Amino acid sequence: HETSLEFAPSVARAAVLKESSSLPEDMPQIKGYDFNQGVDHRALLQSFLTTGFQASSFGQAVQEINKMIEKRLEPVQEEQESCDSHSSASGCTIFLGYTSNLISSGVRESIRYLAQHRMVDVIVTTAGGIEEDFIKCLAPTYLGEFSLKGKELRQQGINRIGNLLVPNDNYCKFEDWLMPILDQMVLEQKTEGTHWTPSKMIHRLGKEINNPDSVYYWAYKNDIPVFSPALTDGSLGDMIYFHSYKNPGLVLDIVEDIRRLNSKAVFAKSTGMIILGGGLVKHHIANANLMRNGADFAVFVNTGQEFDGSDSGARPDEAISWGKIRMDASPVKVYADASIVFPLLVAETFAHNAARLIKEKNSD
């Protein structure tokens, strides 16, 4: 570089042309997918790891979830199983959390697949994340637009969730379905002393809906506990409120559920957290994992940011400070709308693995 050295301001040249130390040899180089090799979607998704930015985070999330799946399939010693009734038979207890809107969206079908095939062990969601699943068994949700006017929609009785539309009649159908079940629940409480908790109520509703499209039908069938401590915060709460005037007395206790949820974490061999969105579902799963001094694996998918100090937007590294994720873990956050990212994650992890297992079985 001597030629221009003498002419240019030397401080500028020194700053701009500072020499660099060499990087480790095994450091991955950035390289995207080459479409000259045709459209091979799987190769494309695998190339994300070296594409950078959130594509790389996606690739790392695939690896992290596949570690959970592998660990989950590890044989658990019989001895351990027998001596402790709390103990999970799974090598890795996977906690899946998601916000209500994802059940309203078509991500529901990915979640239902996981519940149907018992690929996750514990579910945490909000009230809407419960009721919208049942309501969709009664009537459809539609694709609209983010910019539709609230006033016009209200006049027509159409509720908007982002770019989704839910006719209010769907909630009327939900009431028709739910009221007799609430009657029955009150009866059982009074006559059999049933101590209702949100998770028990969700289990019961999953049984009652008796529909293979439902996430909670499968959670019921496969005995996957579903936690939703603020179960009254939504249409379920509206109906419970109305019902309380007609047939009062129902009690929904949240103490028994926190004990049950925490036990799932405490007595697990290892745990993984897959959390879509923020708010209660993110905090509740992470807090339960503090009870075991941290989850072993973690994948967060959300659009939140840390700058406002919210738990929703916090990076996984904040959870490490609290002991909610292990200090030696390699948690991944993907900054993205889960509607795009979660189906792709399931494709490259749970579903891919299932397809592989079937193939191996068939070839035996």
Give the footprint of a copy of itself on residues 113-172 (CB under 8 A): 113, 116, 126, 128, 140-144, 146-151, 153-165, 167-169, 171-172
Residue 227 CA from chain centroid, whole number: 12
Of the candidates 30, 37, 112, the residue with the CA atom closest to the CA atom of residue 343: 112
Tell me: does residue 364 bind a copy of itself (CB under 8 A). no
| Least distance to a copy of itself, CB of residue 43, Å | 10
Among 88, 90, 93, 99, binds a copy of itself (CB under 8 A): 99
Angle 196-199-205 (CA atoms, 0-180°, nearest 5)?
A: 85
Site for a copy of itself in 23-82 (CB under 8 A): 23, 27-36, 38-39, 41-42, 44-45, 47-58
**C-alpha to C-alpha distance for 145 and 134, rounded to whole angstroms:** 23
Residue 324 annotated in active site: yes
Contact 97, 281 (CB under 8 A): yes
Q: Which residue type, as a one-letter code, is found at position 317?
A: D
Residue 202: CB minimum distance to a copy of itself, A: 14
Is residue 327 a contact residue for a copy of itself (CB under 8 A)?
yes
* Cβ(64)–Cβ(331) below 8 Å: yes
Work out how close the CB of 87 gets to a copy of itself at its nearest, in angstroms, rounded to a whole number: 12
Q: Which of residues 164-223 bind a copy of itself (CB under 8 A)?
A: 164-165, 167-169, 171-172, 175-176, 179, 195, 198
In angstroms, how far apart are the furthest CA atoms of the chain? 96
The residue from 137, 138, 181, 351 that contacts a copy of itself (CB under 8 A) is 351
Query: Measured from the CB atom, is 181 or 230 closer to a copy of itself?
Result: 230
- CB-wise, 37 or 191, nearer to a copy of itself? 37
CB of 230 to a copy of itself, least distance (A): 4
Q: Which residue has the tokens 């939900």?
A: 174
**Residue span binding a copy of itself (CB under 8 A) among the ranges 66-74, 75-83, 89-97, 316-324:** 316-324
Q: 299, 116, 70: which is closest to 211 by C-alpha?
A: 116
Tell which one of 67, 72, 204, 292 touches a copy of itself (CB under 8 A).
292
Look up tokens 């500072």; give the residue. Answer: 18
Q: Which amino acid does the sequence have at 43?
A: A
Strands 164-167 and 142-143: antiparallel
Element (H, E) at 4: helix 2-5
Q: Which of 71, 264, 324, 333 is catalytic?
A: 324
How far is it, in rounded angstroms, from Cα 215 to Cα 140? 15
- How many angstroms separate the CA atoms of 265 and 288, rounded? 6
Residue 357 binds a copy of itself (CB under 8 A) = no
Q: Is 83 in the site for a copy of itself (CB under 8 A)?
A: no
Q: How far is the CB of 150 from a copy of itself (least distance, A)?
A: 3
Residue positions annotated with a catalytic role? 324
